[in-house]
Amino acid sequence: MNVIDQALTNINVQNKPNALWRYVDDVFVAFNDKSELNIFFKALSNVYNNITFTNEFECSDSLVYLDVLVKKIQTGIRTTTYRMHTHSCLYTHWTSFIPHHKNETLYLDYLTGLIKSPALPD
């Protein structure tokens, strides 16, 4: 267990998050109330002086976490793949003039990201 995992599990707050997902240095937490989130964020920021945490709040009942668009609906959440407006959908072609091992790495990284995503696709 690393420093951030220890901080997230040992944080001393009255209300624990409804959901907590972590991928490398990105943490997704969900609370019923924004004030609970602010208390959690302040407590987390005070755990280690050399780590600076930032936060983002939902806007129009949605939030982007990594490459996943998380939308709040009446029955819970709905997730879809998020693409920035500048995304071109262009990837290297398998037969392009790139060393074969580089192409393999690109595809494996892409697939690994899909598999390890905390949200399930629609």
Site of tokens 């995992």: 5
State the burial class of residue 117 (Cβ atoms within 10 Å of its Cβ: 0-12, 13-18, 19+).
middle
pLDDT at residue 117, rounded to an integer:
57
pLDDT at residue 122, rounded to an integer:
46
What is the CA 33 to chain-centroid distance, rounded? Answer: 20
Does residue 121 carry a pLDDT above 60? no
Token code pair at residue 14: 């009255």
pLDDT at residue 115, rounded to an integer:
66
Q: Are 63 and 77 in contact (CB under 8 A)?
A: no
Token code pair at residue 8: 């997230």
Higher pLDDT, residue 90 or 47: 47
Q: Are 14 and 35 in contact (CB under 8 A)?
A: no
pTM of the model: 0.58
Token code pair at residue 92: 């290297």
